[in-house]
Amino acid sequence: MANLPKLRPWLCLLATMAAVSAPWPPADALGMNWGTQATHLLPPKIVAQLLRDNGIKKVKLFDADQETLSALAGTGIEVMVAIPNVMLDTMTDYDTAKEWVRRNVSRYNFDGGVTIKYVAVGNEPFLAAYNGTFDKVTFPALQNIQNALNEAGLGDTIKATVPLNADVYMSPKDNPVPSAGRWRADITDLMTQMVQFLSNNSAPFTVNIYPFISLFLNDDFPVNFAFFDGDATPLVDPGNGVSYTNVFDANFDTLVAALKSVGHGDMPIVVGEVGWPTDGDKHATSAYAQRFYNGLLKRLAANAGTPARPNQYIEMYLFGLLDEDIKSVAPGNFERHWGILRYDGQPKYPMDLSGQGQNTMLVPARGVEYLPRTWCVVNTNAGSDAMEKLADNINYACTFADCTALGYGSTCGGMDSNGNASYAFNAFFQVQNQKDEACGFQGLAVPTQTDPSTTTCNFTIQIATTSAAHRRPLGVAVFVLAQLVLLLLLLLLH
């Protein structure tokens, strides 16, 4: 102890170095959406470890898959399980709802089990594009699930909620400001009843907010208004004098006004989805995604809130964790590129989940097994007769594989016809687990061990079947059925 004064400077230096090198934990409010609409899924155990490695303590699912929940058991990660829209009708029967809660919630409620916090009843069921398909079944399903949770003795800690698209509320055309927010006219009564029920059960309102979509849908939308770095020209709400510098705050506060209009202006709000894609559109880039998340995460870490709810904690789930190569592209090609990580769990760009602005990469997935380093590319020695069939074969390949990166403004959009063909052929080849017959295309394709990727366009090697999908995710039945006729079509192409 006599030398302690001499050691103090060194101890202080070591402590400082440790503080600098130790990573900050993610913001407490931060969660992640874990989607599974992919041809080759990472095993749930690898994904669960990936979440833990990155300090992510909340995850939102789109089903209640047993293997996924088993992988999350004992991790302490808070989970939002989900009932898909196609099951809402069956949940209008109370006994069915009770059985669903028993099988998918109660069974995991034990020490070392799954920390289920929410049950998502549907996913954006009131989306205007659905034309009322789920309007009559969602609220009864919500009531039955929450009542079943209550009856099971779980209702105090597990809440049922309905993740809704931001199109359920809006401001009038003659007064398009956040403070004038109201429910969409066709569902006003329904929303009023549902909000009251949520309030009675101390459950949150869950909303999905996508600034990217505002930019995607309107070429005249001010780009800077989609981000959080203060470069946008402020828009003033004359109803309360508040200045808005980003569309997220304006959207969120429109919801606050809508809740206030029915007497629930203080209801907790969970942002179920928010994110930025990295491909499939001119605005879907890694640079924009990094800019968006840098601003969002800094605000989240500081509990900045919004003008209507300043300095408040807002629980928020990023969308999404991984790219999904068979998501529907009806809204746009970007739908398959929302992941902050690639399909294989590898980081796309620097991202600091702590919101401290550090130039750090996420921890990648560990233990991922890949198919051999073999690609399928266009056969430049094919005869002219075969080349006349090139377009048809590209279309065929892209029918069964993801070619969204080839679109205008996308990462692979600038290649010539041979490059497009090679990308399409390889995408198909990988989806088919590199089967020999999947790299034929009437003599137009050949396998190669030379990586055809360019500086901007990545030709993937898929995850090996030994570590790929443990199941086919809900919503990809078309893909599964397509495989049933695939061999016949391959024979025709040969």
Q: Annotated catalytic residue: which of 124, 315, 324, 335?
A: 124
Of the chain, the end-to-end C-alpha distance in Å amounts to 83
**DSSP category for residue 317:** E
Phi and psi, residue 290, nearest 5°? -65, -40
Encoded tokens for 392? 């048809």
In which region does residue 240 sit, left (phi positive, over 0), alpha (psi from -120 to 50) or beta (all else)?
Answer: alpha
Q: What is the secondary structure of 385-402 as a DSSP string? A: HHHTTHHHHHHHHHHHS-
Phi and psi, residue 249, nearest 5°? -60, -45
Q: 191: which residues sit within 8 A by CB, 6+ positions away? A: 126, 168, 169, 183, 184, 258, 262
Q: Annotated catalytic residue: which of 78, 273, 315, 324?
A: 273
Do the beta carbons of residue 307 and residue 21 sit within 8 Å?
A: no
How would you class 55 by CB atoms within 10 Å of its CB: exposed for 0-12, middle for 13-18, buried for 19 or more? Answer: middle
Query: Is 437 annotated in the active site?
Result: no
Question: What's the number of CA atoms in the CB half-sphere (13 Å) around residue 443?
Answer: 9
Q: What is the secondary structure of 281-292 as a DSSP string? A: STT--HHHHHHH
Query: Is 124 annotated in the active site?
Result: yes
SS (H, E, C) 325-344: CCCCCCCCHHHHHCCCECCC
Encoded tokens for 367? 């233990």
Q: 196: which residues sit within 8 A by CB, 6+ positions away? A: 262, 264
Helix intervals (H) in 128-238? 135-151, 188-200, 211-217
91 CA to centre of own chain: 25
Do the beta carbons of residue 116 and residue 109 sit within 8 Å?
A: yes
Q: What is residue 80's three-state secondary structure?
A: strand
Catalytic residues: 124, 273
